């Protein structure tokens, strides 16, 4: 019997967005999509007094805990934490190009030191019985260099890892913002295709420039899996198609009203732990593209200040009723 590929469709880690609350909404919308936490620095994961709120896993599996850092002992401890919190995988971020990660010597700048990355991964693999993976770029700087990418993968392959998520762009470390690093460096899917042929035993999950579910589905047929971020952030309802299209199953909650009611059950249980704004933020984009949605979001945000959760729930349901929204399974 062939093994099910649980990483056929992944939701990318996004700082400030893939919070526990957003992941809960994503899991309501799709039972199969492979989810990620935000990147969490190793020291925050170990020492923060609020780490339980940051790294909680509320039955969100399949899911990976993403960590940033380069100190062996810290990464070992984080790997044990991932196992304790029932994550399916711990992922080492070697793709983020922000100034903060460069200053802290983690993220994409680690691609300059192949051996250090290998030792980090070896330490993590030895620390706990859990899948360890990497998320990286195809290179650093303005010039594309396949040999650099090959040498990086070849070195970390020797650590024993078998899953690599590849943002198929270089990272430019100066002169452009992290946001522009997601769009300005040229995409090169061919590098990912070539590296797969060199290391067929490794799963390479493609990330970068995948701006529609149709495109994701097409690419998933020639790659081990795909990873999407901003499309899901902007339009969470895109996830309703995923179980059917990528995993040949169906999601029960294909009616907006059911989704809203289930998510508000989650929100009500956590009002003592977090603010209404943080709890409801993931829901504000759920009506992406529908008439009057911008006006509705503005109304909701003003009412959040009153902290009347039942009123807010009623408003979401009224909006659905006014729009007569029943989701269809378009792949766009």
What's phi and psi for 58, nearest 5 deg?
A: -90, 70
**Spatial distance between the Cα atoms of 1 and 49, rounded to a whole number of angstroms:** 45
Q: Which pLDDT score, from 0 to 100, does residue 99 have?
A: 76
**Spatial distance between the Cα atoms of 178 and 95, rounded to a whole number of angstroms:** 11
- Residue 77 shares a structural domain with residue 224: yes
**Spatial distance between the Cα atoms of 238 and 201, rounded to a whole number of angstroms:** 31
Q: Which helix (H) or strand (E) holds 208?
A: none
- pLDDT digit string, tens, across residues 170-217: 998 888 888 888 888 899 999 999 999 999 999 999 999 999 999 999
- Residue 239 shares a structural domain with residue 291: no
- Residue 221 shares a structural domain with residue 268: no
Q: Strand (E) positions, the chain?
A: 9-11, 35-41, 63-68, 89-94, 131-140, 163-171, 203-207, 225-228
Q: Which of 193, 218, 247 is where one domain is finished?
A: 247
Question: Both tokens of residue 303?
Answer: 């009412």
- pLDDT digit string, tens, across residues 59-83: 899 999 999 999 999 999 999 999 9
Q: Which residues are catalytic?
A: 96
- Residue 24 shares a structural domain with residue 78: yes
- Residue 151 shares a structural domain with residue 214: yes
Question: Both tokens of residue 312?
Answer: 């807010």
Q: Is there a domain that residue 209 lies in? A: yes
Give the pLDDT band of residue 36 (cuts 50, 70, 90).
very high
- Residue 279 shares a structural domain with residue 242: no
Q: Work out the mean pLDDT of the chain and round it to a whole number.
A: 89
Q: Is there a domain that residue 83 lies in? A: yes
- pLDDT digit string, tens, across residues 229-268: 999 998 898 998 899 999 998 666 557 788 899 999 999 9
Structurally, the chain folds into a number of domains equal to 2
C-alpha of 144 from chain center: 25
Q: Which of 218, 247, 276 is where one domain is finished?
A: 247
Number of alpha carbons in the 13 Å side-chain half-sphere of residue 126: 9
Range of the domain at 317: 256-323
Q: Which of 65-69, 111-115, 164-168, 257-261 has the lowest mean pLDDT?
A: 257-261
- Residue 70 shares a structural domain with residue 169: yes
Say which CATH number the domain at 124 has: 3.20.20.70
């Amino acid at each position: 019997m062939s093994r099910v590929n649980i990483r056929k469709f992944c939701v990318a880690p996004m700082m400030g967005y893939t919070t526990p609350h957003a992941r809960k909404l994503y899991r309501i919308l799709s039972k199969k999509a492979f989810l990620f936490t935000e990147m969490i620095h190793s020291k925050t994961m170990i020492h923060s007094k609020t780490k339980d709120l940051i790294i909680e896993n509320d039955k969100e599996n399949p899911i990976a805990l993403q960590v940033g850092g380069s100190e062996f002992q810290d990464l070992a401890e984080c790997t044990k934490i991932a196992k304790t919190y029932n994550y399916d995988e711990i992922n080492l971020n070697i793709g983020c190009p922000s100034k903060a990660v460069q200053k802290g010597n983690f993220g994409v700048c680690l691609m300059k030191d192949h051996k250090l990355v290998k030792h980090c991964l070896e330490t993590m693999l030895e620390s706990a019985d859990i899948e360890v993976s990497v998320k990286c770029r195809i290179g650093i700087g303005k010039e594309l260099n396949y040999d650099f990418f090959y040498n990086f993968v070849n070195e970390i392959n020797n650590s024993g890892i078998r899953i690599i998520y590849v943002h198929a762009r270089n990272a430019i470390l100066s002169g452009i913002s992290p946001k522009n690093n997601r769009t300005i460096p040229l995409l090169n899917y061919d590098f990912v295709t070539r590296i797969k042929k060199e290391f067929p035993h490794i799963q390479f999950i493609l990330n970068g420039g995948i701006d529609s579910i149709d495109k994701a589905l097409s690419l998933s047929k020639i790659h081990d899996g795909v990873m999407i971020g901003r499309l899901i952030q902007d339009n969470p309802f895109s996830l309703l198609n995923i179980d059917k299209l990528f995993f040949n199953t169906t999601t029960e909650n294909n009616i907006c009203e059911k989704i809203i009611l289930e998510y508000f059950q989650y929100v009500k249980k956590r009002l003592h732990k977090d603010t209404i704004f943080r709890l409801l933020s993931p829901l504000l984009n759920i009506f992406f593209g529908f008439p009057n949605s911008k006006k509705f979001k503005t109304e909701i945000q003003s009412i959040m200040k009153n902290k009347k959760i039942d009123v807010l729930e009623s408003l979401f349901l009224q909006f659905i009723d006014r729009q007569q929204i029943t989701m269809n399974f378009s792949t766009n």
